[in-house]
Amino acid sequence: MMILGVDIGGSGIKGAIVDTDTGLIVGERHRIPTPLPATPEAMAETLKALVAHFAWQGPVGCGFPATIHHGVVFTAANIDASWVNVDAETLFSQTSGCPCYLLNDADAAGLAEMRFGVGQDKEGVVMMITIGTGLGSAIFVNGHLHPNTELGHLKMKGRIAEHYCSDAVRQREDLGWKKWGRRFSRYLQRLEFLFNPDLIILGGGASQKLANFQDQLFTRAPVVAAQSLNQAGIIGAALYAQERVPAQAEA
């Protein structure tokens, strides 16, 4: 099935048409800068513009950087505070004119990697950590997602983990890969202590630079980069929408 997958982030809203049978992006990806301030109404208008760019009329899957409960945004760590308690699924559907289905962005990236990437057929506990402005997390047990884990918000050295070792922190504090890598390793070790994963998958921009810091990571579980790298969020959002599309629409 073809679905428009969208990855909503703090700096850009990226979309592409995804063939959910193959997990491949069809045609070009399109990115629109996130409006400022990124209020619900402004973001909904940007999503509408993205939908118009693709002249899209079908279902839309959206990865969103917050916890999402039945389409409603519950948290606002790196987004405008006015998002809390907004029924984003309804707002996006009404504004864009297409049925929209929302989930956490890291959960979306994880779904893509479990179905088509390095997590394919992996049993046991698999964790996906996305490294960007924030730290996103997704946990799978025997292929099943436990949604909204928000492990970027664990405390590390008196700070929230994503304020200690996200990619934004690496850039802002001008940390070398070695120093940042040591911080990130401490974070992964904490996750190992709590969840004993069999595999850790890294996504987001920094995962493409894994070779720069892999030698600083001291974990028991293997650490690998997401196969679809920065596209995992778009692909996973489309896979999620496909699960939710009513049966008659799929036929």
**Is residue 169 near ligand BGC by the rule CB under 6 A?**
no
Q: Shortest gap between Cβ of 169 and ligand BGC (angstroms)?
A: 12
Q: Shortest gap between Cβ of 159 and ligand BGC (angstroms)?
A: 13
Site for ligand BGC in 111-150 (CB under 6 A): 130, 132, 134, 136, 150
**Is residue 167 near ligand BGC by the rule CB under 6 A?**
no
Q: Which one of residues 34, 46, 78, 185 is an interface residue with ligand BGC (CB under 6 A)?
A: 78
CB of 75 or CB of 216, closer to ligand BGC: 75
Q: How many beta carbons lie within 10 A of that of residue 19, not counting itself?
A: 14
**Is residue 62 near ligand BGC by the rule CB under 6 A?**
no
Cα angle, residue 102 at apex, residues 97 and 103 outer, rounded to 5°: 170
Can you tell me the distance from the alpha carbon of 64 to that of 134, in angstroms, rounded to the nearest whole number? 12
Q: In this chain, which residue has its C-beta nearest to ligand BGC?
A: 134
**Is residue 106 near ligand BGC by the rule CB under 6 A?**
yes
**Is residue 202 near ligand BGC by the rule CB under 6 A?**
no
Dihedral angle computed from the Cα positions of residues 36, 41, 43 and 44, in that order, rounded to the nearest 10 degrees: -160
**Is residue 152 near ligand BGC by the rule CB under 6 A?**
yes
Q: 65: cis peptide before it, omega within 30°?
A: no
230 contact partners, CB below 8 Å, separation of at least 6: 203, 204, 205, 208
**Is residue 110 near ligand BGC by the rule CB under 6 A?**
no
Can you tell me the distance from the alpha carbon of 102 to that of 241, in angstroms, rounded to the nearest whole number? 8
**Is residue 105 near ligand BGC by the rule CB under 6 A?**
yes
CA gyration radius, the chain: 17
Q: Which one of residues 104, 185, 207, 242 is an interface residue with ligand BGC (CB under 6 A)?
A: 104
Query: CA dist 150 to 104, 138, 178, Å?
Result: 9, 8, 25
**Residues near ligand BGC, by CB under 6 A:** 65-67, 75, 77-78, 104-106, 130, 132, 134, 136, 150, 152, 162
